[in-house]
Amino acid sequence: MIISWIAIFILALSYWFQIWKIHLHKEVRDLSIPYHVLLALGFGMLTYQAYLDDSTIFLVKQILTTLPVIVIIGQILYHRKDKWHDDKDRFCCCDHEIEPDWIRCPYCECDCIEKGKDHEKEREDSLR
Ligand SMILES: [Zn+2]
Ligand SMILES: [Zn+2]
């Protein structure tokens, strides 16, 4: 019984790690809406079945996994037009954020990445 509760906790927690990642990076380009909607539907139906069956542990499990999936659907819709973001990333002279593994800026023809320029720092210096 205790193993089941631990498993439920781990399962639910795994979704919240995904939610936290999306929150940090606003990265939803690769997340599929149909996948998450079907997941939420399936989990939701099983939640109802668990309620009918009067199974507490099954009901808790279903609620704890359905909720975060619904949150992720909300995040996908909310961040649909957002671009990748990380506080550690540099910015190009064209003001777009440069992702860590990029070797050149896809938005302009500059050589910022090649030359390792840090426009954030330059901007701060020019304000001084
Ligand atoms: Zn640049
Ligand atoms: Zn650029």
Q: What are residue 91's phi and psi, to 5 degrees?
A: -115, 145
User: How distant is the alpha carbon of residue 76 from its chain centre?
Assistant: 8
What pLDDT shows up at residue 37?
97
Ligand at shortest distance from the CA of 93: 1
What are the start-end ranges of the H helices in 26-85? 33-53, 56-78
Q: What is the pLDDT of residue 123?
A: 59
**Same domain assignment for residues 32 and 68:** yes
Residues 21 and 62 in one domain: yes
Instruction: Residue 110: give the domain boundaries.
Output: 90-127
Band (pLDDT 50/70/90 cuts) for residue 110 is confident
**Span from the CA of 79 to the centroid of ligand 2 (angstroms):** 22
**Residue 70, domain CATH:** 1.20.1280.290
Give 24's pLDDT tier (boundaries 50, 70, 90): very high
Measure 90 CA to ligand 1 centroid, in angstroms: 10
Q: What is the distance, to the nearest Å, from the Cα of residue 8 to the centroid of all Cα atoms in its chain?
A: 21
Which of the listed residues 78, 98, 113 is the one where a domain comes to its end? Answer: 78
- Say which residue the tokens 């002279």 belong to: 93
10-24, 39-53, 54-68, 90-104: which range is least confident on average?
Answer: 90-104
Residue 119: pLDDT over 70: no
The rounded distance, in Å, linking the Cα atoms of 21 and 39 is 19
The answer on pLDDT for 120 being more than 60 is: no
Residue 83 gets which letter from DSSP? -
Tokens at 9, concatenated: 């906790």
Q: What's the 121 CA to ligand 2 centre distance in angstroms?
A: 16
Instruction: Write down the pTM of the prediction.
Output: 0.77
d(CA 73, CA 13): 17
Q: Is residue 84 in some structural domain?
A: no
Assess if residue 83 is contained within a domain: no
- Do 11 and 74 belong to one domain? yes
In the reported structure, the alpha carbon of residue 92 is separated from the centroid of ligand 1 by a whole-number distance in angstroms of 4
- Cα of 116 vs centre of ligand 2, distance in Å, is 12
Q: What is the pLDDT of residues 61-77, one digit of tens each?
A: 999 999 999 999 999 99
Neighbours of 25 (CB within 10 A): 17
Do 12 and 62 belong together in one domain? yes
**71 and 98: one domain?**
no
Residue 112 lies in a domain: yes
Gap from CA of 96 to ligand 2 centroid (Å): 6
Q: Is the pLDDT of residue 100 over 90?
A: no
